Chains A and B, each alone.
Chain A
Amino acid sequence: MKLFLVACAALSLCLPLHAKEAAPLAEDPVVEKRLINISEELRCLVCQNESLAGSQAELAKDLREEVRGLIKEGKSDSEVKDFLVSRYGDFVLYRPQIKPSTYLLWAGPFLLLFIGLFTLFRFLKQRSKEVVDTPLSDEEKKRAEALLKDAQS
């Protein structure tokens, strides 16, 4: 019994410690949700294939803290993104903005598809011209008919 009480006391000592460590995450669910939404759209510059939301890099932690601060200041999502773009460049955006320097990026795939279809169309047209009509001679017609009759009987 005594041992049980000691164990309970020891466990209860651990509890507040855990609660304290988890606190920052649950601080403000609305802010945290927006933070995750925004930072999933942003690239971490240290581990370039990770989003800012998922990266454990020191810089990513700092930037999440910065974004959290901006959200609390009442900045809109696009203002937060502009803040990071003005410092780190378009590269931080996973979804590049549509502007003159990215027109080719956005239109490129459709352009390639169009070129492909155009080439295919021209190739087919060219080929249909090359195939010359060669009608059967009377002799060949008779042979063909004979063969067909043969097959039916």
Chain B
Amino acid sequence: MNKFTLPLVGFIALVALLAVGLGLNPREVPSPLVGKPAPDFKVPQLHDPNASFSPNEMLGKVWLFNVWASWCVSCREEHPIIVEYTKRPDAIPVIGLNYKDKREDGQRWLARFGDPYVLSAFDLDGRVGINYGVYGVPETYLIDKQGVIRFKQIGPITPTVLEEKILPLIKELNK
């Protein structure tokens, strides 16, 4: 063994470690809520202040919970993907959470860009968001039939994330 072998191996290991570290996205903080029951809440709906929504109503179904806002720029990027998805015959229900928005703004936004949601819950003060650990809109949760969060997407859903992560997981959960 050459006397340079060991330092070289050490150096390569360090470079590999740093390269992996630099490649990680610091925005993607693993959520402690994955694998835990989705926090319960009861808030009014966006389109009807008199009607309310609670995640308990969705027990027995696999569904997507998408946090969005009219002031959120990346939501616009993500929105067509959700709209397209809900047109599929095997699409699961998507519930929206209109996060810290004005009622009129949220309604106008959906009227303009299309409304793929079964309904949108209206989280005026962001309390629901806090309970779900929301810190960067858009965020999306995949919730199973038992009401357990199985996957969380931080930031916009991209076609790749949808095809490679969300759809296979939905298939598995619907078995």
Contact = CB atoms under 8 A, between A and B. Distances in A.
A84 to B, nearest CB: 9
Given A45-B136, A88-B135, A62 B31 contact: no
B133 A91 contact: no
Interface in B97-135: 100, 125-127, 129-133, 135
Contact of A86 (B32, B127, B135): B32
A140 interface: no
Interface size class of B (residues with CB under 8 A): 10 to 19
Contact of A45 (B29, B30, B32, B127): B29
Given A48-B26, A58-B100, A88-B135, A63 B130 contact: yes
A90 B125 CA distance: 24
B83 interface: no
B126 A87 contact: no
Contacts of B127: 66
A46 interface: yes
Contacts of B43: none
A88 B100 contact: no
A83 B132 CA distance: 12
A89 interface: yes
B133 A89 contact: yes
Interface residues of A, number: 15
B33 interface: yes
A85 interface: yes
A46 B135 contact: yes
Interface in A47-73: 48, 58-59, 62-63, 66
B129 to A, nearest CB: 8
A59 B32 contact: no
Interface in A89-109: 89-91
Interface in B25-53: 26, 29-33
Contacts of B135: 45-46, 59, 88
Given A48-B26, A58-B100, A62-B126, A87 B132 contact: yes
A58 B100 CA distance: 10
Given A45-B29, A86-B32, A66 B136 contact: no
Contacts of A87: 32-33, 130-133
Contacts of B33: 87
Contacts of B132: 87
Contacts of A88: 29, 31-32, 133, 135
Contacts of A89: 29-32, 133
Interface of A: 45-46, 48, 58-59, 62-63, 66, 85-91
14 contacts: A45-B135, A45-B136, A46-B136, A48-B26, A59-B126, A63-B130, A66-B130, A87-B32, A87-B33, A87-B131, A87-B133, A89-B29, A89-B133, A91-B30
Q: Which 4 pairs from chain A and chain B are nearest by CB?
A: A45-B135, A87-B133, A91-B29, A89-B32
